[in-house]
């Protein structure tokens, strides 16, 4: 536990943060989904989103700035400076929980990527230090950083990224020594090594499809207002931008890991699970491993079942549907991340900034932030926090229903456009009920 009493393990603060009726919240959220679907069925009869035509050009000044070499170089320099500073704390800092590398690793990198990507677009692609290193190697060798020695196999899609994301959440949520310096160093070193080798072999395509953090950031950034139509920077509605998400193999696995791991993070702190773990002779480490895997696989299976249990036309194969509809889970993921990690991000994120000024834990104040006092406003306004969490979950599901509906009426034949969506609606209601139950149970 940190000096300010905040643990580095993810959590939402438990039921004390939610002084509202769970039954009312769950019933209201489920009703909101059903009502939303009914309204869409009546008023939304034709597809409204088209990646080839949606969006208007961003203001000329913004386009010139974002597309300029100076902007790109500035982003690369910023990302690499933060990377070097974090590496310095990891390699030369003390093996104490107040070492800022833990907050940088678990809070800024993992949770902080979500709001940054929603607000600014694919942030990790712009600042990724492994892309910067790969670019430097290419400049020295005279090669093209976008082209590797081999072509990236299309059948792999996002599967390597899903594996990398699972490796991170396993480290964060299950591994018993996750707040020791050695394992964090090893994880980061392995990540950098794999990314550099992959970039050398497959070029930039490897980062777009196999870097877990770039895939994570880019996927969430499809809910921002910033997008691309070809090389043109455009401004779109978030749902129109979401419709541009590429439907590649492994996309369902990525969203299942992101959603399932967040649900497991709530579940592992519930009284029922803790009582079960303490009442059995089976290793808690083994049980948590199995539970994390079960949550991720379970989310994927429920979603796949909701997609494939529908009638199709002759021009679409059933097994293609889950990846074509998986973009609709992204708003749900963002909603649950806000609900689950908001207080954690605000409070521990501030504490990390304080600790970052003293990377060697020797009383230094290199950044001038060591004497800042974190603001715990959310902790003192539990009703506001509770309402915000429930609102985030409900809004995420409603946006997911809209995204799925628009895609379904484009893909499904007329006779199945409404009835064919019912299995997926049931799956989303199940996600809503289960997610809110775990939010209150933690």
- Check if the beta carbon of residue 30 is closer than 8 Å to that of residue 390: no
Eight-class DSSP state of 234: E
Neighbours of 191 (CB within 10 A): 17
- Check if the beta carbon of residue 193 is closer than 8 Å to that of residue 31: no
pLDDT of residue 271: 86
- Residue 370 pLDDT grade (very low, low, confident, very high; cuts 50, 70, 90): very high
Whose CA is closest to 106, among 220, 225, 2? 2
Angle between helices 212-221 and 330-356 (to 10 degrees): 120
Dist. CA 110–CA 259, nearest whole Å:
14
pLDDT average, residue stretch 78-91: 96
pTM: 0.91
- Check if the beta carbon of residue 36 is closer than 8 Å to that of residue 401: yes
Neighbours of 52 (CB within 10 A): 7
pLDDT at 166 over 90: yes
pLDDT at 19 over 70: no
pLDDT at 180 over 60: yes
- Residue 13 pLDDT grade (very low, low, confident, very high; cuts 50, 70, 90): very low
Find the helix or strand (DSSP H, E) in which 229 lies. Answer: strand 226-229
What are the DSSP calls for 143-199, one per residue?
--TT--SSPPPGGGTTHHHHHHHHHHHHHHHT-TTTTSHHHHHHHHHHHHHHHHHHH
What are the helix (H) ranges across 357-381?
Answer: none
- Check if the beta carbon of residue 326 is closer than 8 Å to that of residue 219: no
pLDDT average, residue stretch 282-311: 92
**Rg of the chain over CA atoms, in angstroms?**
22
pLDDT of residue 312: 67
Dist. CA 166–CA 212, nearest whole Å:
9
pLDDT at 14 over 60: no
pLDDT of residue 290: 96
Segment 376-423, tens digit of pLDDT: 998 888 888 888 888 898 899 889 989 988 888 888 877 777 777 788
pLDDT of residue 314: 60
Find the helix or strand (DSSP H, E) in which 232 lies. Answer: strand 232-235
């Amino acid at each position: 536990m940190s000096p300010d009493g905040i643990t580095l393990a993810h959590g939402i603060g438990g039921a004390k943060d939610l002084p509202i009726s769970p039954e009312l919240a769950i019933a209201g959220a489920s009703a909101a989904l059903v009502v939303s679907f009914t309204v869409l069925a009546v008023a939304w009869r034709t597809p409204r989103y088209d990646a080839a035509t949606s969006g208007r050009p961003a203001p000329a000044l913004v386009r010139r700035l974002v597309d300029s070499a100076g902007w790109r170089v500035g982003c690369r320099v910023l990302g690499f400076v933060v990377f070097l500073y974090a590496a310095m704390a990891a390699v030369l800092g003390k093996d104490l929980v107040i070492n800022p590398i833990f907050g940088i690793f678990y809070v800024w990198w993992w949770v902080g990527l979500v709001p940054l990507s929603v607000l600014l677009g694919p942030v990790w692609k712009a600042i990724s230090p492994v892309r910067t290193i790969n670019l430097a190697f290419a400049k020295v060798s005279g090669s093209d950083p976008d082209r590797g020695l081999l072509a990236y196999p299309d059948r792999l899609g996002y599967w390597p990224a899903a594996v990398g994301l699972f490796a991170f959440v396993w480290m964060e949520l299950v591994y018993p020594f996750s707040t020791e310096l050695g394992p964090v160093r090893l994880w980061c070193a392995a990540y950098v090594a794999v990314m550099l080798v992959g970039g050398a072999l497959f070029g930039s395509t490897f980062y777009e499809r196999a870097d877990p953090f770039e895939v994570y950031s880019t996927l969430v950034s499809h809910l921002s207002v910033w997008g691309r139509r070809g090389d043109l920077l455009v401004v779109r509605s978030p749902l129109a931008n979401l419709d541009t998400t590429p439907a590649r193999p492994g996309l369902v696995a990525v969203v299942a890991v992101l959603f399932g791991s967040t649900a497991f993070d709530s579940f592992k702190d519930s009284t029922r699970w803790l009582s079960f773990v303490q009442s059995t002779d089976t290793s808690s480490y083994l049980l948590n491993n199995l539970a994390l895997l079960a949550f991720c696989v379970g989310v994927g299976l429920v979603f796949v079942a909701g997609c494939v249990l529908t009638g199709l036309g002759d021009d679409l194969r059933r097994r293609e549907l889950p990846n074509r509809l998986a973009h609709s889970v992204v708003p749900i993921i963002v909603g649950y991340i806000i609900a689950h990690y908001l207080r954690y991000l605000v409070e521990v994120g501030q504490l990390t900034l304080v600790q970052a000024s003293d990377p060697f834990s020797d009383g230094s104040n290199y950044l001038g932030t060591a004497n800042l006092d974190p603001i715990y406003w959310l902790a003192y306004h539990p009703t506001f926090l509770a309402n915000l969490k429930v609102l985030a979950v409900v809004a995420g599901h409603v946006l997911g229903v809209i995204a799925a509906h628009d895609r379904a009426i484009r893909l499904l034949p007329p006779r199945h456009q409404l009835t064919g969506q019912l299995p997926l609606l049931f799956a989303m209601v199940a996600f809503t009920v289960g997610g809110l139950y775990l939010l209150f149970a933690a």
